[in-house]
Amino acid sequence: MARARHCDVCKGWHDLEEPWPSACMDHYRKRKGEDRIGLQIVKDIDPYKSVVDGTVIGGRKQHRDHLRARGLVEVGNDNVKQQYQPPPNPVHDIVRAMEEHRYKE
């Protein structure tokens, strides 16, 4: 069976093995009235001064190289799940305390 995808424009299904119909390309356009689909260009980051060593970082590649060279990890604002740490097993401490007080069964 051929793979198909639901179209948000015509509310129908289109076969992915065939070219997407030009009438249904509206949901890929950025703004109304724009007839061409083009590349999206992301602006490079503005230069900034590193808080680690004070060097000026001027672009994304320099930023990645700077982090890699110093063993740093970039952290976003995502919530990090804390790893589960099971509670300590008190048996060892109980046995040691009993031996210290010379408790014998």
Render pLDDT for 36-90 as a digit per residue (tens, 0 to 9): 566 778 888 999 999 999 999 999 999 999 999 999 988 887 777 888 888 888 8
49 and 66 fall within a common domain:
yes
* Residue 23 forms part of a structural domain: yes
The predicted pLDDT at position 94 comes to: 87
Please report, to the nearest 10 degrees, the dihedral formed by the alpha carbons of residues 53, 55, 58, 63 taken in order. Answer: -20
Range of the domain at 60: 42-74
CA distances from 4 to 8, 19, 25, 29 (A): 13, 12, 16, 21
Claim to verify: residue 56 and residue 32 sit in the same structural domain: no
- Residue 60 counted as domain residue: yes
Total domain count for the chain? 2
pLDDT > 80? residue 97: yes
